[in-house]
Structure 1
Amino acid sequence: MSGASIAMMAIGIIIIWGGLAASIANAVIKSKKSS
């Protein structure tokens, strides 16, 4: 594998995990506001 494809994969993984973390944080904030 070339460096470019590894970099693209790493960026994709970071975006996916960033999205997951954002959605989890959003759910936590909403549950705290409602309580």
Structure 2
Amino acid sequence: MTTSAIVMMLVAMVVVWGGLTASILFLRSRPEVTDGLHEDPDLVRDDERREHEPHPFRDT
């Protein structure tokens, strides 16, 4: 491998692993809060209504 190829490989490794490390540290400091489901009641009502309708199909 040439020197330029090794340097580019190291740069790519730093970018990838650095991004991974940064995202892990960010998620550890600010975890996603999942206290429960906070769904819009209108959307829930629409989903329950669609459960009882026949599945749409195409006749192509």
User: Unpaired runs of 5+ in structure 1?
Assistant: none
TM-score normalized with structure 2 length:
0.49
Q: Report which of the two structures shows the higher radius of gyration computed on alpha carbons.
A: 2
Deviation >3 Å, runs of 4+: none
Q: For the aligned residues, what is the CA RMSD?
A: 1.1
Percent of paired sites with the same residue: 34
AA of the residue aligned to 2:18: G
User: Unpaired runs of 5+ in structure 2?
Assistant: 34-60
The number of residues matched between the two structures is 32
| Deviation of the 1:26 alpha carbon | 0.6
Q: 1:28 and 1:16 mapped to 2: Cα distance?
A: 18
TM-score normalized with structure 1 length:
0.79
Q: Does 1:27 align with 2:27?
A: yes
